[in-house]
């Protein structure tokens, strides 16, 4: 498959900070690319450079075969952006907002009504076409923005925190729409989110910290890198249990958090039967789980994604 | 090109939706009409008829009305251009800036939008004419429209340039005080600016309102029927470098002024890039 985005040796310097350091990555046509990192990691700076909003200090970005610094307009026609903040005109109706977008992006006149209808159907807003945006709920506004981002048939859709500030039910709905889009249109998606469970839908994930890309891989591979399963347990006497574990177990990584002992093992099925037999301290709580992206994120950045945030 | 139209259309549509703004912007010009038309006209007319032969028929309000329309244009143009700051605050500017619409078209679209809104407001002032006891020919009112629009363009581009520099709407009141008011007073809109001190005269001569108002008066007031002395007294013979300035020159001045300021605003957009 062809690369739709190619980023090479991208750098951004500000007066006294080096916000983005030698960033390289490719995004394949049709993939969902998750872009994660703690706040201040350089994510927004990178995205702004890719979206033609900010000039890089050095390096190159190609989107859909166009150079971002020299062919800005071609790039702008090739991408759709759903910003973190609301960028709708609330005094206008949904239909008017969409029509303006068609005009900004030179959508052919005879196709405008048809496309507006089409994108409104994708996000289930056909009935609200004539209503002013200020009467919309948060979720409806988000959906309308997604619809608007699709109007000019972009090759890449940038979704910057598309579900931030929405209730869980609406969030789930938004993802449904996004996945529906991927299936139907095969649009490449560049996604940032703070909800790591939502990043699971990505084909590949890049984690950025301190201006650098630390790792890029599929969610499954990333979790595999952490090594197998996680067993969390608490016992009647954690100290004694820990002592026993350190004495008897060699094939697990043992850590303690608050009242919980955490064991990272290659395969919990093999491990658990022998482990429970050997432990003399009664277990009060036991939980076995696969590593989540939260564990991945924590392992790579040393931070929880929600920390130091907002 | 359609980008210009879309940006223009958005601002004009919103103008018609916002009734409060529609009527709120009338209060200032009406206040001025009352003060200058009602309050000052007796004095001015007394002065003129006392000192000038045949001055008895002079109507000050006829002189000042085009000035107050020009003032409406000034206020509305500048304030409408400042909507660009609002767009930035509410995020809509991002939607425009990431689109393929060129920066210069964004500036032109915004400028034309503000000018149209200003002109509509100015035209609404015409509705007051019957209540003021003055008469203008319908033809002259139609003829003055293109000049009103041109003046509005020049003034909107002033607003646009300021807006491209301002980071928030907080500087708003300050702008009005240090810029808009002097532009009204030093333009001949409300009183003649014939015998100003030298430095003030320079401001008068670089002020686009001066030329706009002058053209509007030349079109709306039947100048030929007035005696030369009244023309002189009311400052209806604007001169530049010692000779009378023609309508064509005034139009040219406003065109150049608008173009230069729009280009400067475009550069400022391009630099800020957000």
Per CB-CB distance under 8 Å, the chain B contacts of A85 are 91, 94
Q: How far apart are CA B165 and CA B85, in angstroms?
A: 9
Structural contact between residues A267 and A227, judged by C-beta atoms closer than 8 angstroms: no
CB-based contact A92 B101, cutoff 8 Å: no
Residues 76-135 of B with CB under 8 A from A: 90-92, 94-102
Please name which of A261, A124, A139, A246 lies closest in space to residue A181, comparing C-alpha atoms: A124
pLDDT of residue B56: 61
Structural contact between residues A82 and A146, judged by C-beta atoms closer than 8 angstroms: yes
Q: Which of B13, B101, B274 sits opposite A53 (nearest CB)?
A: B274
Q: How confident is the model at residue A57 (pLDDT cuts 50, 70, 90)?
A: very high
The residue that leads in pLDDT, A254 or A305, is A254
What's the structural domain count of chain B? Answer: 1
* Residue A270 C-alpha from the chain's centroid: 34
Per CB-CB distance under 8 Å, the chain B contacts of A106 are 2, 100
For B173, the enclosing helix (H) or strand (E) is helix B172-175
pLDDT of residue B54: 60
Angstrom distances, CA of residue A24 to CA of A193, B247, B256: 20, 61, 48
Residues A93-117 pLDDT 10s:
999 999 999 999 999 999 999 999 9
Instruction: Give the number of other CB atoms < 10 A from CB of residue B126.
Output: 15
Residues of chain B with pLDDT under 50: 274
CB-based contact B17 A91, cutoff 8 Å: yes
Q: How far apart are CA A241 and CA B209, in angstroms?
A: 87
Q: How far apart are CA B177 and CA B220, in angstroms?
A: 29
Q: Which regions of chain A does DSSP assign to beta strands (E)?
A: 3-13, 18-28, 32-36, 58-63, 66-67, 79-82, 156-160, 188-192, 204-209, 212-217, 229-235, 252-257, 260-265, 283-289
Q: How far apart are CA A174 and CA A163, in angstroms?
A: 7
Q: How confident is the model at residue A310 (pLDDT cuts 50, 70, 90)?
A: very low
pLDDT of residue A131: 95
Q: Which regions of B139-274 does DSSP assign to beta strands (E)?
A: 239-240, 243-244
Does pTM surpass 0.95? no
Angstrom distances, CA of residue A245 to CA of A235, A251, A253, B42: 12, 10, 10, 104
pLDDT of residue A309: 40
pLDDT of residue B177: 75
In this prediction, residues A227-254 reach a mean pLDDT of 83
In this prediction, residues A155-161 reach a mean pLDDT of 90
* Distance of residue A265 Cα from the nearest chain B Cα, in angstroms: 48
Q: Is A1 helix (H, G, I), strand (E, B) or coil?
A: coil
Residues 203-222 of B with CB under 8 A from A: none
Strand partners for A255: A262
What is the β-pairing status of strands A204-209 and A188-192?
Answer: unpaired
Per CB-CB distance under 8 Å, the chain B contacts of A88 are 92, 95
Place of tokens 């889009």: A181
For residue A291, report the phi and psi dihedrals to the nearest 5 degrees.
-65, 145
DSSP string of A249-293, one letter each residue: --SEEEEEETTEEEEEES-HHHHHHHHHHH--SPEEEEEEE---H
* Distance of residue A130 Cα from the nearest chain B Cα, in angstroms: 14
Per CB-CB distance under 8 Å, the chain A contacts of B95 are 83, 87-88, 101, 104, 148
User: Lowest-pLDDT range, A31-45, A172-186, B70-84?
Assistant: A172-186
Burial (CB count within 10 angstroms: exposed 0-12, middle 13-18, buried 19+), residue A148: buried
Q: How far apart are CA A299 and CA B114, in angstroms?
A: 54
pLDDT of residue B192: 82
pLDDT of residue A272: 82
Write down the ipTM of this complex: 0.84
Structure tokens at A20: 């983005």
Question: A22-25: long-range contacts at Cβ-Cβ below 8 A with a sequence spacing of 24 or more?
Answer: A22/A59, A22/A212, A23/A59, A23/A208, A23/A211, A23/A212, A23/A213, A24/A213, A25/A206, A25/A213, A25/A216
Per CB-CB distance under 8 Å, the chain A contacts of B97 are 53
Per CB-CB distance under 8 Å, the chain A contacts of B13 are 92, 96
Name the residue range of residue B246's domain.
Answer: 2-272
Is residue B169 less than 8 Å (CB to CB) from chain A? Answer: no
Structural contact between residues B149 and B156, judged by C-beta atoms closer than 8 angstroms: no
Is residue A134 less than 8 Å (CB to CB) from chain B? Answer: no
pLDDT of residue B267: 87
């Amino acid at each position: 498959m062809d690369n739709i985005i190619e980023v090479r040796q991208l750098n951004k310097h500000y007066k006294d900070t080096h916000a983005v350091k030698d960033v390289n990555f490719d995004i394949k046509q049709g993939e969902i690319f998750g872009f994660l990192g703690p706040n201040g990691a350089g994510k927004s700076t990178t995205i702004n450079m890719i979206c033609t909003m900010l000039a890089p200090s050095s390096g190159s970005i190609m989107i859909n075969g166009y150079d971002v610094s020299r062919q800005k307009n071609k790039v702008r026609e090739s991408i759709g952006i759903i910003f973190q903040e609301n960028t709708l005109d609330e005094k206008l109706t949904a239909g008017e907002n969409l029509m303006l977008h068609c005009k900004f992006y030179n959508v052919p006149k005879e196709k405008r009504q048809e496309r507006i209808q089409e994108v409104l159907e994708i996000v289930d807003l056909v009935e609200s076409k004539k209503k002013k945006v200020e009467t919309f709920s948060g979720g409806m506004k988000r959906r309308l923005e997604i619809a608007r981002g699709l109007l000019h048939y972009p090759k890449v859709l940038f979704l910057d925190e598309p579900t931030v500030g929405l209730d869980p039910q609406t969030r789930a709905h938004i993802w449904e729409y996004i996945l529906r889009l991927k299936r139907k249109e095969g649009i490449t998606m560049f996604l940032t989110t703070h909800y790591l469970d939502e990043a699971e839908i990505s084909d590949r994930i890049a984690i950025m910290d301190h201006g650098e890309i630390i790792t890029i891989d599929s969610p499954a591979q990333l979790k595999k890198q952490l090594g197998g399963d996680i067993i969390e347990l608490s016992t009647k006497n954690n100290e004694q249990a820990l002592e026993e574990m350190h004495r008897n177990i060699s094939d697990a990584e043992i850590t303690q958090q608050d009242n919980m002992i955490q064991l990272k093992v290659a395969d919990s099925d093999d491990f658990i039967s022998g482990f429970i037999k050997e432990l003399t301290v009664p277990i009060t709580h036991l939980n076995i789980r696969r590593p989540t992206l939260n564990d991945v994120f924590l392992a790579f950045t040393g931070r929880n994604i929600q920390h130091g945030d907002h | 090109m359609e980008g210009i139209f879309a940006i223009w259309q958005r601002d004009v549509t919103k103008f018609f939706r916002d009734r409060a703004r529609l009527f709120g912007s009338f209060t200032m010009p009406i206040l001025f009409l009352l003060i200058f038309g009602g309050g000052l006209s007796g004095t001015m007319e007394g002065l003129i008829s006392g000192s000038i032969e045949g001055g008895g028929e002079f109507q000050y309000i006829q002189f000042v009305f085009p000035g107050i329309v020009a003032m409406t244009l000034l206020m509305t143009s500048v304030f409408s251009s400042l909507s660009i700051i609002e767009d930035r605050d509410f995020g809509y500017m991002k939607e425009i800036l990431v689109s393929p619409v060129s920066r210069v078209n964004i500036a032109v679209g915004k400028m034309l939008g503000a000018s149209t809104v200003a002109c509509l407001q100015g035209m609404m002032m015409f509705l007051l004419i019957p209540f003021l006891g003055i008469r203008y020919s319908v033809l002259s009112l139609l003829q003055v429209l293109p000049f009103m629009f041109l003046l509005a363009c020049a003034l909107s581009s002033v607003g646009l340039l300021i807006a491209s520099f301002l980071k928030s709407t907080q500087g708003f009141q300050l702008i009005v005080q240090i810029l808009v008011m002097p532009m009204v007073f030093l333009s001949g809109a409300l009183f003649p600016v014939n015998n100003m001190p030298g430095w003030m005269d320079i401001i008068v001569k670089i002020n686009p309102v001066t030329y706009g108002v002058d053209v509007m008066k030349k079109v709306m007031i039947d100048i030929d029927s007035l005696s030369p002395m009244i023309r002189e007294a009311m400052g209806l013979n604007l001169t530049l470098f010692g000779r009378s300035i023609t309508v064509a020159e005034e139009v040219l001045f406003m065109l150049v002024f608008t173009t230069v300021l729009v280009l400067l605003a475009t550069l400022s957009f391009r630099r800020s890039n957000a």
